[in-house]
Amino acid sequence: MASTVIELTESKKHIQRIGQIFTAQRTAFRKNPMPSLTERLENLKRLKRTLLVNQDRLLDAIYQDFSCRSRDETLIAEIMPSVQGINYVTKHLAGWMKPSNRHVSVLFQPASNQVHYQPKGVVGIIVPWNYPLFLAVGPLVAALAAGNRAMIKMSEFTPHTSALFRELMADTFPEDLVSVVLGEADVAANFTNRPFDHLLFTGSTSVGRLVMKAASENLTPVTLELGGKSPAIISSDVPMADAAQRLAFGKAFNVGQTCVAPDYVLCPADRLQSFVDEFRSQLSTMYPTIRDNDDYTAIINERQYQRLQGYLDDAREKGARLIEINPAGENLSDGTRKLPVTLVLDTTPEMKLMQDEIFGPILPVLTYDSLDEAIHYINERPRPLALYYFGYDKGLQKKVIEQTHSGGMCINDALMHVAQDDLPFGGVGDSGMGHYHGKEGFLTFSHHRSIFAKQRFNSGKAVYAPHGTAIHKLVYRLFIR
C-alpha cells in the first residue's frame, strides 16, 4: 500500500511539473519567437558537446536498461547518427532558414511571394524504449533547428537512460528551452493532452491512434512514427549470400527491436532451402555464441520476452516449422532474456506472428512463385514502415518501387535508409504520418508562412467595383482561356 501511495505521489509531481514547464516554455517563446541562426547553432553545438562528453555514461545506461545491449550497436545506432545528424543540420541550416521566393501571376504584379519558415512554438516529443537516445535526440535536433522549444517524454521502460538524459539536458539547456519529463502511462496521457504546437510520437500503431485522438482535442498537428510488418522480397536471381547476410544483419541488430526491422521474408519457393542455409551460416558468423556475447543484445524486459515466446509457442502449436539459430547450442532459459534468431516456416495467417508486428528476433519466411504474387501479398496488407527488395535487375527494382507503398525502402540492404541524413524518415497509412530527419525535420517543425507583398503601384484596381466592360475584357481575354 505504501509503495502505491509513493507511486501516485510521484506521478502527481510529474504531471504538475508538465504544466509548469509547458507554461514556462510558452512564455519564453513569446518573448523570443524567432531565434537567430546564431542562437540555433549554439544550441546544437551545446547538444553535440553534451553527447560527446557523456557518451560512456550513455553507453552504460543503455546497457543497464537492456541488461545487455551491445555497446558497439549503441555507438553505431544511437550516438553516431545523433552526432552526424547535428553536423548535417548545422552545415545546412542557414540555407534552410532563408525565405523561399515563389512565382507571382501577372495579374498581381508588381508584387512578391515568399514563404517564411517560422518556429511553431512548444514541441512535444514522446520517445520509445528501443532506441531511447537517438529517438530523443533526432527530433530534438529538428525542433531546435527550426527555432522551437521542446518537452521530451522519455520511456519508463528505460529508467537509467531516461534519468541520465534528463540530467544531461538540465545541465545543457534552461528548462524553458528543453526539458525532459519522466513517468508512466498516466504521465504520458497527461503529456499528450497538452496544447503543443506540434507533437511527435514514436511507438506502436495502437498507441499512435490514442495520441492522435488526444492531440485532436487541441488541434495539435502530429507526426506519428509507428511500425508495422515490414517485408523483405528476395528476387529469383540475387546472389543468396548478399541477401541473407544483409537480412541477418537487419534482423539481429538490436535483436529485431527496431521499428524498421525486416518482419517477414518473401522468398522464391525454389530458393527456400538456399535462403535458410545461407541465413544460418551468415548469422552464425556474426554471432558464434549468444549467452555471454556482449554483441548480442537482450530483450528489453520480461514482458516483451514472454510476448515473443508466446509467438513461437503459438506458431509451433499451429504447425509451423521453427529453425532456431543457436550456433553453440547454449542453454538460454535461465533469465538472460537472450532469444536466438528463429526462422519460422510453413506459416498461416491465423498465427499471431503473422498478425502483429514482431519486434524481436523472429523471422517468418513465406514463399512465392512470381514477383506479382509477392507484390499482391504486400498490397493486401496495411502499408508498412519499410520495404526491402534484394535483386540487381533495375527493371524489377522499378516495378517493386512503383507497385508498392511503404514509408521508406531499401534496395539490396536493410535498415540503412534510416541512417541517411538527407532522406526523410516516416510512415504511410498504418505505419505513420509525417516525416523528419534533415531538411524535412526542419520543415516539419516550421510553420510555412505565406507572405504576399504589394508594391506602391496598384494594378489590382482593375478588378475593383464598379465593374464594367473593361473587367470583362481583361478577365475573359487574358485569364479565362
Active site residues: 225, 259
User: How would you write the chain as a 3-class SS string?
Assistant: CHHHHHHHHHHHHHHHHHHHHHHHHHHHHHHCCCCCHHHHHHHHHHHHHHHHHCHHHHHHHHHHHHCCCCHHHHHHHHHHHHHHHHHHHHHHHHHHHCCEEECCCHHHCCEEEEEEEEECCEEEEECCCCCCCHHHHHHHHHHHHCCCEEEEECCCCCHHHHHHHHHHHHHHCCCCCEEEECCCHHHHHHHHCCCCCEEEEECCHHHHHHHHHHHHCCCCCEEEECCCCCEEEECCCCCHHHHHHHHHHHHHHHHHCCCCCCCEEEEEHHHHHHHHHHHHHHHHHHCCCCCCCCCCCCCCCHHHHHHHHHHHHHHHHCCCEEEEECCCCCCCCCCCCCCCEEEEECCCCCCHHHCCCCCCCEEEEEEECCHHHHHHHHHCCCCCCEEEEECCCHHHHHHHHHHCCCCEEEECCCCHHHHCCCCCECCCHHHEECCECHHHHHHHCEEEEEEEEECCCCHHHHHCCCCCHHHHHHHHHHHCC
Distances (CA, A) of 330 to 291, 313, 324, 341: 7, 20, 11, 13
Cα distance between residue 146 and residue 197, in whole Å: 13
Q: What are phi and psi of 287, to 5 degrees?
A: -135, 80
Cα distance between residue 171 and residue 182, in whole Å: 16
